[in-house]
Amino acid sequence: MSTVPVPGSMRNAMRGSRALGPARPDEQFEVTLRLRRRAPLSADSLDGTRSPSSRAYLQHSQLEEMHGADPADIAKVEAFARSAGLAVVGASAARRSVFISGSVETFEKAFGVKLEYYEHPTKGSFRGRTGTIDVPSELDTVIVGVFGLDNRPFAHSHVSRRNVSFAAQFGGFTPPQVAQFYNFPIGLDGSGETIGIIELGGGFRPADLSAYFSQIGVPAPQVTAVSVDLGKNAPSTADSADGEVMLDIEVAASVAPKAKIAVYFTANTTDRDFLDAITQAVHDEVNHPSVISISWGGPEGAATDSFQTQFDEVLQSAAALGITVTIASGDNGAADEGPNEWDGVAHADFPASSPFALACGGTRITVSGSTVTAESVWNQQASDTQQDSFGASGGGVSGVFPLPTYQQNARVPANVATGKPGRGVPDVAGDGDPASGYLVRVDGQEFPIGGTSAVAPLWAGLITLINQSLGHRAGFINPILYANPKALNDITVGNNRVGAQNVGFDAAAGWDACTGLGSPNGSKVLAALGGSAK
């Protein structure tokens, strides 16, 4: 049987890892196969330049019928899987996915791969592979991605905690206070909207949410946990991923308290988990999120090209449905990696680097009363133990995605590694420094948290209010924001440079690779999108 490689499936060994030996032949796991679209999305359905009121978004049924997977393709792929000895767990034309399960031995034979166990000094042990994934020639272009064969770590939370020695000096702002600082439109509460939140681990306790919202005087939200693959709402301790989960819920729901919150829980063991979570959220016809917030990611080079391509295509589907996706840009400055993993080169964070993401960077604010008196790029590096918070706003230039049309006049520099133009990250920013961060409650404890993880749900909350005010979805808003930069507070002080090499970028007038166009003036953002503030 002749085979062909799946485009973008090439894997190299993880830098710093060592092979321990072949994976156990009878180890069982599941894999997601992504299939081609019936027809490409039209340029009109992805046009974000028009006012949201003049857009005709696709309905879920229309997207599935016109741009989902062809049932004939699904049948071919299912037949191939069964003939290879793999079990078909399920399929979704809308999500363009076929879900299969089997053993290491069976998967190796079906896809021409060799699976081994590896060990990394900081990222632990994992099942991995090198080389490409092969499929039968008759399925060339039909199968466009195979995810879950290896479970090397990729995404991590972009939450940042305050230095404990300084925490007692500043308890954190409540999210409604931050919304006031940024002039969010008043008289709105998110009624009729749903915010989707992607979580790769952790959980929430209803008692904590009840106590938190009672304390800050905001109605407790309706929160639904949605299980994706093997994920579930699994709270544990305050120093776990629970901090990310609670930050996301508490920020978004405090800003838009009458919006429903759907939290999509998945594991963080394979690229499959992350991809399945976003496809389920975007195509969710039960909860119908109009905004999705993601506070997880990793350096572009850590993921395969096919993963990034397919994730980006899901965000394109979100745009066609009128769903806005806000994504944190990272907490390690231009490095986008911690000092123990960094290779000394600037990296943009993915999925924030997708052109269809609203990428969210971080700032540090100084406040007098209810007024922000100063705002700069968040950059407090862990190398200085006297700093009151650690981390820096992620930002840079993509080495994967080309410069989008909406950034043509933004003076985005070329990618340093490739010398080519690329998608600039972030688009926008907001308060992200834990030293000027958010009061949260996690597993019975209260303390300030920041990171660009806080900025994504903050912007998600703002867009939810705007959707309510407009009476329809704002959808893909990047082109409108770039055409209306005065709707944001331009940040011109600071940088996201890191390391002894001083790698990174400086804030400047207009767009920059630290804070994008700047932090929001909520009422002006509403006006730019065709609404009027009270």
The residues annotated as belonging to the active site are 244, 248, 453
Contact 70, 81 (CB under 8 A): no
Residue type, 488: L
- For tokens 């096919």, the residue is 306
CA angle 258/261/263 to nearest 5° reads 170
CB atoms within 10 A of CB 210: 12
Q: Using DSSP, state whether 449 is helix, strand or coil.
A: strand
Q: Which strand (E) or helix (H) includes residue 134?
A: strand 134-136
DSSP string, 389-420: B-EE---EE-SSSPPPGGGTTTTPPPPTTT-S
Where do the DSSP E strands lie in 200-322? 223-227, 260-265, 291-294, 296-299
Contact 252, 292 (CB under 8 A): no
CA distances from 164 to 244, 390, 435, 448, 449 (A): 17, 11, 11, 10, 11
Nearest to 510 by CA among 476, 480, 484: 484
Nearest to 454 by CA among 55, 159, 174: 159
Q: Whole-angstrom Cα distance, residue 342 to residue 356?
A: 27
Contact 472, 52 (CB under 8 A): yes
- For tokens 């963080």, the residue is 268
Q: What are phi and psi of 75, to 5 degrees?
A: -65, -40
Any idea what DSSP says for residue 217? Answer: T
Beta bridge partners of 147: 32
Give the strand pairing for 379-380 and 391-392: antiparallel
Residue type, 151: N
CA distances from 530 to 254, 318, 474 (A): 24, 21, 9
